[in-house]
Structure 1
Amino acid sequence: MAENKQQNKNEDNKKKGLKSPGGNQYTFYWIVLAALFGFWLFSSQGGGLFGGPPTIDYSEFRNQITSGNIEKVVVQGDQVSGDLKEPTQLNAAENDTTHYKSFNTYLPSFGDDKLMSMLEEHEIQVETRPKSDFNWWTVLLWGLPLIFLIMIGFQFFRQMRMQGQNMFKIGESKAKLQDAEKVNTTFDDVAGLEGAKTELQEVVSFLKNPNKFDSLGGEIPRGLLMVGPPGTGKTLLARAVAGEAGVPFFTITGSDFMEMFVGVGAKRVRDMFNKAKEKEPAIIFIDEIDSIGRKRGAGLGGGHDEREQTLNQLLSELDGFEKNEGVIVMAATNRPDILDKALLRPGRFDRQITVHLPTQEHREQILQIHAKNKKISDNVDLDEIARSTPGFSGADLNNLLNEAALIAARHKRKAIEQQDIDQARDKVMMGLKREGIRLTEHEKKLLAYHEAGHAVVAAVLPNSDPIHKVTVIPRGKAMGVTMQMPEKEKFLYEKKYMLDRMAVMMGGRAAENLIFDTSTSGAENDLKQIRKLARKMVLDWGMSDKFNNIAFGSQREQVFLGEQMGSSKEYSENTAQAVDEEVQRILNEAFDTAMKAITEHRDILDKLADELVEREEVLGKEVMEWLNGSLEDGVSEEKNDNIDAESKSDTSSNNPKKEGQEDLSSKKGTKPTNNTEEE
């Protein structure tokens, strides 16, 4: 306790600009060392502390005797010092204006027999002193380096001693106790996530009024695990609990338990829980718990490594022989699939709170929270921004507004305009514009027709998402992008939607074959994404004609080497060959569908390609206007009816930001479809 108070005091002093006593002591040591070293250096160069009388030549000394200008001399060994009657110029030959009255000189080694007779002749008072073997200047000259080395050794010993003391403290917990007065985040600062807030509000209510639950015989969950994609607000919820509960709140990350020394992780876990028990009721929040909570025995090295020993101690503290009555543990992770099963059982983490990506309604609420401290123009429609950003997390929306503010400041605007947000959205979703790329006219036409192929197929097929924008401006890794924006977020995906989506992906390759009778490397990303989607249709969703209503399960990448070596496919080699054939058939049908669409609407394809070459960017509504002018009324009405039917049946939810990254059926909502040309 005393050490924590002293540490907090030192931190407060640092914030106020004050130095700790140890820092002042070190500064004093270095000043003394510098002064002694300077004094030694000055002395070694022949100077003195107060200057002293100058040393003159012996011949000058004899001249002064001859001229009768010496009043008194003192002889001590071979050193002669004396005083002049009248001040004399030091170096007359060199025009030196310095005068001296006292002087020092030294007798020559060969002796001077006539010196005493000269002194007697000019009646100069002579004083002799015995030669001294002890010289303070000599002691200082040779002793200062020794003192300097001793002080350096003392400091080195002191540092080693402090490190030795820290070695005994290395097992102390790194959990930080949050000051309740400084945590001002509440549940009002968290938009959406109503279910998660309800679950956490029960914890806050129990801590404030435990009798409410004890009277009914209820026990509050001892552990709450928040699971969700990155940026969805798991840590923000923990800060809100800290602000609402008003009880001691300890925070730590999973990596803080690990150290290079064996046994440190387990000791830190024990120390953390001991500190929490001293202040119970208390809350412990462990962020990124997957750092220490991974499955045991999954690797080739066995189960006795430091991380697993730390996990074993954490399991014991959560629900072991000794109960933790007043300590509630909260944790957050975006990788629940790799956590140890013993960690997730009731009694340890009783509740798993899934934190989803925000829906359209919640995205608007999040934007309103992040827009409070920003100057936004009145023409900015947050509802439109929320609708055009499906799949964005709370962190993504915050980053979007921040990028828009930076763009507005770059253009010296007084407020954030809608165009700033549009540019920020393109930057976040598609990447930065690539400067310095010089394409030939042929490459420009290839790129324009490739993106025009995506756009025309998307505009023609009845089950595809509407086009938002077509651009051939290089961004990030993409040379061009066709952006699709769904009217409403989707919960489920029908087979016809998937087939049309794959046809849109094939539109670029089909346009290359139709116009130039060639294939380019720009379709690399399209082909990879469509292959993943086709294999999911066959293996996971049972959407193929040959393997209808059966899910084999994809061969996914394993997290741990031990599991990967022990895994096997759930179907035979013959079935695998049949799956490959079925995937190839689906891809061929998607290509044929795309080729048919652009062949029937060749005029729109050419017009859009020409516009892209000239303008580099075309809005989706322009493409639809051109298409509606050439389509028959029946086809246009069919597409509009399909869009209206989907709008009525779908409700708002979420979707992952990147296509093909995760199972579409396991995510809510739809992100704009980006068909990109890779380098």
Structure 2
Amino acid sequence: MEMDNKKKRQSMILYLIIAAAAVIALRTFLFPSIMNGQIQETSYSEFLGMVDKKEVKQVKLDTSTGDITFTTGSGMDSKEFHTTLWPNDDSLVKRLQDSGATFSAQIPSQSANMLLYLLINLLPLIMIFGGAWLLNRRLKKAMGEDGPSMNFGGGFGLGAGGLGRSGAKEVKGEETGITFSDVAGQDEAKESLEEIVSFLEHPEKYAAIGARCPRGALLVGPPGTGKTLLAKAVAGEAKVPFFSISGSEFVEMFVGRGAAKVRDLFKQAKEKAPCIIFIDEIDTVGKKRDAGLNTNDEREQTLNQLLAEMDGFDNHKGIVVLAATNRPDSLDAALLRPGRFDRRIPVELPDLTGREAILKLHAGDVKMEGGVDFAAVARQTPGASGADLANMINEAALRAVRMGRTRVTQTDIEESVDTVIAGEKKKSTVLSEHEKEVVAYHETGHAIVAAVQDGKAPVSKITIVPRTSGALGFTMQAEEDERYLTTREEYKQRIAVLCGGRAAEELIFGHMTSGAANDIEKATKIARAMVTQLGMSERFGMMALGESRNRYLGGGSELTCSEGTARDVDEEVKTLVEEGHSTALKTLRENRFKLHEIAHYLQKKETITGEEFMNILNRDDGFAPRYPQE
């Protein structure tokens, strides 16, 4: 309450200063210009001439300044003039009496003169020094040198939450509403964080044996895997205050502002200990320092302050710093050393079991029909993050509402998988019959090459319905179980499957289309990884020819070899892709009749399941169907 009253007083002082400045500005600049537009200046001799001609009707004399204001004419014809009294003119009074004009003199007191002098000359100086003092006091407090920061109010605050304030959002642990039971698919990460929770709840057990809690834990993983959710769960489990801030909020235009925010953040944390500080996207402020010319003084000062605070606070009070990033390779080494971020906790994409657990967790908030097979959905979504899976359940619920149902079905979830992966069905795109036929053969080519391989990734769906992602169709494969290792032969089979669409177009229509662009890109990427990173090239053997960029953000690899070797790498990549293309052509020639049969069936139905596809492929009709010559 006292703080609020102080803010109000400071706001009132500021408003009074602004109002006084406005009045003085009006008095000094505006009013004289207005008056000068109505009162005409004239010389003293002209004034005496008009007095002698009896044109002057009224005269006012200011004895303190010698200013004379007089009026001529009457009514609408009256005019007002201004002149200055000639010194020692004793004849003026008699002339005015003879002309019949009325006149008066104003004789101000000495005290009035002094007050007017003070108002005109000293008040602006007082206002300037008073405003400077108030602003200086405000800046000191904002920079953390003299207590907490305050706002002037009325929109005159300097920055959100005040200059130098951290801007961190404080939430009580129990108010986060999140515990470890709300996190699925990250069992290893939860186990690593449970020890931190135990320390925050029972610090005396660790103090008794002489152990200390890790000062910080760095959560590392791709976007959408639940790093922020885990940090909130730690606060919810420990029931301690939770300070959340993004790394970008420390970055300021003026040098020193970011460091002041770091100081304020840790000051608040010390007052509320035990507590948790969570810095999201810490790579924004924690990037490696550069000794070159391209330095950022503000960012480096902020990082130095963060390093000092993490190394200097008393960890026994129960302050734990959690941070999240998907660019760990860009962080400064001093930030990662023991004593600052003691633990690095991977928060990876969920495996098959994890995906199923995440789907079930989010499905608990939605009304579902009985018998939904979450395991089948999990097999269809390799590489999906927790955020993707949550979005799939939500999309399924939205689809159920659109279809007029009160519960989500298996069909809704499977359609939502397609929506998240490939986009919504595109109603505005209408393919011609020939284009539809080409796409049907293209997708059937992928499916047949995939089915005859022994890579254990059966086809689960084929569709030729255009999607908003730009795909005119797609073939979905579902792994039967989780795969952690991939052989050279399996990579070559994947390349062959990707070449199956283009091979079908060449085999049936004798020409190529642009529909294979994405397939070619993926096949080339796999072949290049085999040569430069995985040591799966017969020509180069176990030799690393490139460095992988950030794997959490989908970065590829960068060659680290000579120009001549780079040309040889291109030749080897080309050889692998051409080998896959030849395999696809050979497979489709051997299954030409099934290619026709399934493609025509797909063209008619537009979407078929993996079961339908396999039934047709494995069915022995006993005769060769008649189709036009390719």
| Partner residue in 1 for 2:613 | 623
For 2:384 and 2:548, the matched residues in 1 are separated by: 28
| Partner SS, residue 479 of structure 1 | coil
Task: After TM superposition, give the deviation of residue 533 of structure 1 in Å.
Answer: 0.6
Paired residue for 1:169? 162
- Are 1:401 and 2:393 an aligned pair? yes
Give the distance between the partners of 1:202 and 1:568, measured in 2 at CA. Answer: 39
Query: For residues 400-479 of structure 1, what are the structure 2 equivalents within 5 Å?
Result: 400-463=392-455, 465-475=457-467, 476-479=469-472
Query: What letter is aligned with 1:251?
Result: S
Q: 1:88 — aligned with what?
A: none
Partner of 1:17: none
Structure 1 residue 558: Cα displacement: 12
Using the alignment, how far apart are the partners of 2:593 and 2:256 within structure 1? 73
1:602 paired residue number = 592
Aligned to 2:138: none
Asked whether 1:340 is paired with 2:332, we answer yes
User: What is the number of residues matched between the two proteins?
Assistant: 482
Q: Which amino acid in the other structure matches residue 462 of structure 1? A: D
- Residue 539 to residue 348, structure 1, CA distance change in 2 (3 Å): same
Give the direction of change, closer, same or farther, for the CA distance of 1:520–1:5 in structure 2 (3 Å limit): farther
CA drift at 1:166: 3.1
Change (3 A) 1:631 1:588: farther
Q: Secondary structure at the match of 1:530?
A: helix
TM superposition shift of 1:505? 0.5
Residue equivalent to 2:208:
215
Q: 2: distance between equivalents of 1:310 and 1:204?
A: 28
- State the distance in 2 between where 1:4 and 1:265 align: 26
TM-score by length of 2: 0.71
Q: CA deviation at 1:163?
A: 5.2
> 1:160: Cα distance to partner?
8.5
With over 3 angstroms needed to count, the CA separation of the structure-2 counterparts of 1:590 and 1:288, relative to structure 1, is same
Is 1:593–2:586 an aligned residue pair? Answer: no
2:499 to 492, 497, 506: 506
**1:334-375 deviations in Å (ceiling 9; x for gaps):** 221211111111111000011122222222322222122211
Distance 1:5 1:587, change over 3 A: farther
Contact 1:318 1:324 in 2 (8 A): no
Secondary structure of residue in 2 paired with 1:251: strand
* Aligned mates of 1:412, 1:338 — CA distance in 2: 50
Report if aligned partners of 1:464, 1:500 keep a CA contact under 8 Å in 2.
no
Can you list the C-alpha shifts for 1:173-225, whole angstroms capped at 9, x where unaligned? 11122123422321222224222222222112212222211222211110111
* Contact 1:536/1:554 (8 A) holds in 2: no
2:534 matches 1:544: no
Given the alignment of the two structures, is residue 316 of structure 1 paired with residue 293 of structure 2, yes or no? no
Q: Distance in 2 between matches of 1:478 and 1:529?
A: 14
Matches within 5 A, 1:524-603: 524-554=517-547, 556=549, 569-603=559-593
Which among 483, 488, 497 is matched to residue 481 of structure 2? 488
TM-fit CA distance, 1:579: 1.4
**Offset at residue 323 of structure 1 (A):** 4.9
Structure 1 residues 220-299: aligned runs within 5 Å: 220-297=213-290
Kindly indicate whether the alpha-carbon contact (under 8 Å) linking 2:172 and 2:239 is maintained by their aligned counterparts in 1: no
Cα distance change on mapping 1:293 and 1:2 into 2, 3 Å: farther
- How big is the shift at 1:506? 0.6
8 A Cα contact 2:232 2:242, kept in partner = no
Q: Which moves more between the two structures, 490-499 or 546-555?
A: 546-555
Superposition RMSD on alpha carbons, in Å?
A: 3.2
CA distance in 1, matches of 2:415, 2:516: 25
1:376 aligns to 2:368 (yes or no): yes
- For 1:14, the equivalent position in structure 2 comes to none
User: Displacement of 1:618 after TM fit?
Assistant: 1.9
Contact 2:174–2:240 (8 Å) recurs in 1: no
Deviation per residue, 1:365-391 (Å, 9 max, x gap): 222221222111113223332333222
Q: List per-residue Cα deviations over 1:591-626 (Å, max 9, x = no partner).
A: 110000000100011112111221111222222222
Q: Determine if the alignment matches structure 1 residue 180 to structure 2 residue 170.
A: no
Q: Please tell me whether the aligned partners of residues 465 and 606 of structure 2 are also in contact (alpha carbons under 8 angstroms).
A: yes
Q: Give the C-alpha shift of residue 464 in structure 1.
A: 5.4
Pairs within 5 Å for 1:95-134: none
Offset of residue 494 of structure 1: 0.7
In the TM superposition, residue 404 of structure 1 has moved relative to its aligned partner by: 0.6
- Asked whether the equivalents of residues 225 and 353 of structure 1 are also in contact (C-alpha less than 8 Å), the reply is yes
Q: Separation in 1 of the partners of 2:201 and 2:232?
A: 17
The aligned residue for residue 76 of structure 1 is none
Alignment partner of 1:366 is 2:358: yes
- Where 1:328 maps in the other structure, the secondary structure is strand
Give yes or no for contact 1:452–1:608 (8 Å, CA) kept in 2: yes
Contact 1:226 1:234 in 2 (8 A): yes
CA distance in structure 1 between the partners assigned to 2:611 and 2:548 by the alignment: 41
Determine if contact 2:327/2:550 at 8 Å carries over to the other structure: no
In structure 1, the residue matched to 2:381 is 389
Q: Distance in 2 between matches of 1:2 and 1:335?
A: 45
**Please, which runs of 5 or more residues in structure 1 have no aligned partner?**
11-20, 26-108, 110-156, 560-566, 633-679
Q: Which has the higher contact order (CA 8 A, sep 6+)?
A: 1
C-alpha deviation, 1:525, in angstroms: 0.8
Task: Report the Cα offset of residue 234 of structure 1.
Answer: 1.1
SS in 2 for 1:221: coil
Cα distance in 1 for partners of 2:260, 2:268 equals 12
The alpha-carbon deviation at position 293 of structure 1 amounts to 1.2
SS in 1 for 2:321: strand
User: Percent of aligned positions with the same letter in both sequences?
Assistant: 50
* Structure 1 residues 225 and 525: CA distance shift in structure 2, 3 A: same
Which range is displaced more, 334-343 or 587-596? 334-343
Inter-partner Cα distance in structure 1 for 2:6 and 2:395:
41
| TM superposition shift of 1:492 | 0.6
Paired with 1:503 and 1:597, the residues of 2 have a C-alpha distance of 9
User: Which residue is 2:73 aligned to?
Assistant: none
1: distance between equivalents of 2:548 and 2:392? 36
1:197 matched residue in structure 2: 190
Whole-angstrom CA distance in 1 between matches of 2:375 and 2:571: 45
| Distance of aligned partners of 1:395 and 1:551 in 2 relative to their CA distance in 1, 3 Å threshold | same
Distance 1:557 1:600 in 2: 42
How has the CA–CA distance of structure 1 residues 568 and 360 changed in structure 2, closer, same or farther, with 3 Å as cutoff? closer
2:127 paired residue number: none
In structure 2, relative to structure 1, the CA distance for the partners of 1:304 and 1:443 (3 Å cut) is closer
Q: 1:331 to 1:160 in 2, by over 3 A?
A: closer
How big is each residue's C-alpha offset from its partner over 1:76-112, in whole Å with a ceiling of 9 and x where there is no partner? xxxxxxxxxxxxxxxxxxxxxxxxxxxxxxxxx9xxx
Instruction: Report deviation, 1:310.
Output: 1.1
What is the correspondence of 1:16-27 to structure 2 with a 5 Å cutoff? none
The CA distance in 2 between the partners of 1:598 and 1:568, in whole Å, is 35
Name which of 323, 340, 353 aligns with 1:331: 323
The 3-state SS of whatever aligns with 2:164 is coil
SS at match of 1:169: coil
Moved more, 205-214 or 513-522: 205-214
